Amino acid sequence: MKIVQIIGARPQFIKAAMVSSAWKSKCDEIIIHTGQHYDYNLSKSFFNELEIPEPDVNLNVGSGSHAKQTANMLVGLEKHLQNISPDWVLVYGDTNSTLAGSLVAAKLSLPCAHVEAGLRSYNRKMPEEINRVVSDHLASLLFCPTSNAVENLKKEGITTGVHNTGDVMADSLFHFLELAQQKSRILKKLNLKLREYSLLTLHRAGNVDDREKLESITLALRQIRDKIIFPIHPRTQKMLQQFQLGLPRNVVAISPVGYLDMLMLEENADCVLTDSGGIQKEAYLLGVRCITLREETEWVETIDAGWNVVVGASPKAIVSAYNDFRPTNDRPQVFGDGRAAGRIARVVLEQIDCRRKL
């Protein structure tokens, strides 16, 4: 019973850690790391912290254009999946690794499961939207994190193989939060106190590769007087330098941090400013107000509950939200009960048993 997990970016490492734990010793698991995230703090440190088995294969594709990166993944994945001949392939989220894994599995007639299926921002200019739509239409099993995701698939005529399991990132947060509270020293290292700073993450191409948007965001940061901790993504750092844009003094740029440190930075912040989908969810689960630096979000549940506001890159909208947006609503348990990984593992293993009996 062989299952291949294809991963390549930080959120996928986190999700795969929970699923790996759920079916431990019940199958032969092969982990293929595409190498999409190759910086230590964006990759290897997550394997160490989350106790994920070392990848059996690392394609080491590195950076490049979407076409070049995806093409290199396709070539590498085809070779290894042909050699392994797995019973199932699992892909996660909405990255180029997700797209490449789904395409190769479909071409090789291998059954593929998409974890975090059904999300839609309805913005086809986002590469992530293309990746998730294509992956959903190729997958045999679709594991949805929310009921909204199930409805999105239904609108596109996808009803077979759809399971509302809850969100594996919620599983991970519930599982690792206490460990982070015990082990992380990031607050002491940065001399931070509860609710006396905000946290910024910024990495999406639509923001950081667009000089006008990136400059608008930095202008907004200059109008916020509070301390802002900014674990800076390599891509963002590169584009700030290329566009010759500086950060204001109140923004403390630090190297990317591991998962446990990031949880602590999120949990203790007064506000999270981000263009990351995963961090929107984590802020919601931790009860921290979130300002999303995009024009839309696939995590509409956080908006509906009143804990997230979408502002784009407008300095006026960003500063206004930072000063005035103070959630007081309850936070419904929209992302599940922390047992999504177990449900995913059970369904996949049952599918393998059924196929072998045919």
203 catalytic residue (yes or no): yes
Using pLDDT thresholds of 50, 70 and 90, give the confidence band for residue 44. low
Using pLDDT thresholds of 50, 70 and 90, give the confidence band for residue 92. very high
Distant-in-sequence, close-in-space partners of 318: CB < 8 Å, separation ≥ 6: 217, 220, 273, 291, 293, 311
Q: What is the pLDDT of residue 355?
A: 67
Q: What is the pLDDT of residue 9?
A: 84
DSSP-derived letter for residue 200 is E
Q: DSSP string covering 20-49, please? A: HHHTTTTSEEEEEE--SS-SGGGTHHHHHH
Q: Select from 143, 39, 37, 170 the least CA-distant residue to 96.
A: 37
- Among 33, 37, 114, 203, the active-site one is 203
Mean pLDDT of the chain: 93
Single-letter code of the amino acid located at 296: E
pLDDT digits (tens, 9 = 90+) for 244-262: 999 999 999 999 998 999 9
Q: What is the pLDDT of residue 307?
A: 98
Domains of the chain: 2-166+336-357 (3.40.50.2000), 174-324 (3.40.50.2000)
pLDDT digits (tens, 9 = 90+) for 267-303: 999 999 999 999 999 999 999 999 999 999 999 999 9
Using pLDDT thresholds of 50, 70 and 90, give the confidence band for residue 46. low
Q: How far apart are CA 241 and CA 113, in angstroms?
A: 40
C-alpha dist (Å) from residue 236 to 145, 208, 239: 29, 6, 5
Q: Say yes or no to pLDDT of 312 above 90.
A: yes
Q: What is the pLDDT of residue 63?
A: 78
Q: How far apart are CA 211 and CA 18, in angstroms?
A: 38
Q: What is the pLDDT of residue 358?
A: 53
Residue 175, SS3 per DSSP: helix
pLDDT digits (tens, 9 = 90+) for 195-220: 999 999 999 989 999 999 999 999 99
